[in-house]
Amino acid sequence: MSQELTLGVYFSANDVVYDWTIAFLNSFRTFNPDLRLILIPFNEQCDRLLQLQERYNFEVYIDPSFPRLEAIGQAFELGHTPTGPYWFRRYAAFWGPLNRFMYLDARQVVLADLKPFIEALDQFGFDFIHYDCAIDQVYEPGVFRQELLRQGRGRGFNSGRWATREGLFSLEEFEHLAAEALKIRDQLNPRNTDQAFINYCCDMKPVCYGHFAEVIGGICHTGWARQPRKIYQQDGKYYLWDYGGLDHKKQLFLLHWAGHPLNIFMPHRSVFCNFFFRNEPISQYLITYLYAVFEYLVNNPIEVMRKNRHINTLYHLVKRTISL
């Protein structure tokens, strides 16, 4: 790889995910002390977060394209996620200051040096490398999805962790692809707007993309925390104990809690706490732990009701009736 290329990582966050971001930043700087890190503000609620800029040595990237990207997001929004349009700001990274980069959401911890994962783009000749896949979270079952799969496309990758290169897409190209995608909006996931959008763009261009675990090898195929597996450390690295499984004793380089709230019973909470409380006194740990217990006791009954099939069905029935 040319020495002239600028490598680094973009991340998106705001004050709403402040605690998640503390763990993310501590973990990132543990394994990547010198790698360039740039915040793309999720929205304008970033006052607390910006106070961490010097401590964690990150830059802030604000681009004039944000309103146009948010407009794309708004066009895809079906009323499920009020903040959905802000997710599209992350795609300004394609014309940002980094030549080769990784994008990461803040609801995860970094467990390895990320530079080799960024360098893999040129080393293996890929335009875009992603991580976890779940096609149902991107494309609805139907003719469009079937045709993509028939052509060897349509992986359905997660939009919160990927590596790519500057200039792969332009703002004008995104706007053109968005107009085409809206013609088949009913065949895209109704909720995960930014995820469906970037998958559609990569599939329609198309770009040469692959999965980190398949391209590099020796790493876990997924980093989703909710999967019941044991994480252990050895020689300063994190591995997965998944006896009998495909990822047994493979390295884990990212651990993310997408779709899971931050609470006392979150899976692999010990890994999160290891980075969240790094360099903090034990008293802070105890206070936060007690608060988490209280929060759980208050919110858990509501969460149980929300997930109940009958209550949830009734809620959405009433919601649809009111909207008519």
Q: Where are the domains positioned within the chain?
A: 7-216, 292-324
- Compute how many other C-beta atoms are within 10 angstroms of the C-beta atom of residue 261: 12
Contact between residue 145 and residue 187 where contact means Cβ atoms under 8 Å apart: yes
Residue 36 bridge partners (DSSP): 8
The helix/strand count (H/E) of the chain reads as 12, 11
What is the spatial distance between Cα 133 and Cα 136, in angstroms, rounded to a whole number? 9
User: Which class for 143: exposed (0-12), middle (13-18), buried (19 or more C-beta within 10 A)?
Assistant: exposed
CA separation for the pair 249, 262 (Å, rounded): 27
Selection from 1, 4, 56, 3 nearest residue 32 by Cα = 56
Angle between helix axes 171-181 and 193-204 (nearest 10 degrees) is 100
State phi, psi for 199 to the nearest 5 degrees: -65, -45
**Which CATH fold topology does 7-216 show?**
Spore Coat Polysaccharide Biosynthesis Protein SpsA; Chain A (3.90.550)
User: Which of 248, 232, 8, 262 lies closest to 115 in space, CA to CA?
Assistant: 8
C-alpha closest to that of 289 among 267, 268, 270: 270
pLDDT of residue 82: 87
Q: How many CB atoms lie within 10 A of CB 273?
A: 17
Range list of H helices, the chain? 18-31, 47-50, 53-56, 66-76, 115-124, 143-150, 171-181, 193-204, 212-216, 269-276, 282-307, 309-323
Helix, strand, coil shares, percent, the chain, to 5: 45, 15, 35
Which CA distances in Å does 247 have to 35, 217, 251, 322? Answer: 28, 11, 8, 47
pLDDT at 318: 79
pLDDT for 281 equals: 54
Q: Do residues 174 and 69 make contact, with C-beta atoms less than 8 angstroms apart?
A: yes
What confidence score (pLDDT) does residue 2 get? 47
What digits encode the pLDDT tens for the residues 21-37?
999 999 999 999 999 99
Distance from C-alpha of 219 to C-alpha of 254, rounded to nearest angstrom: 10
Query: What pLDDT shows up at residue 263?
Result: 86
Residues of the chain with pLDDT under 50: 1-2, 291
What pLDDT score does 179 carry?
Answer: 98
Q: 85 pairs with which residues across the strands?
A: none
In the DSSP assignment, the letter for residue 117 is: H
Q: Is 78 helix (H, G, I), strand (E, B) or coil?
A: coil
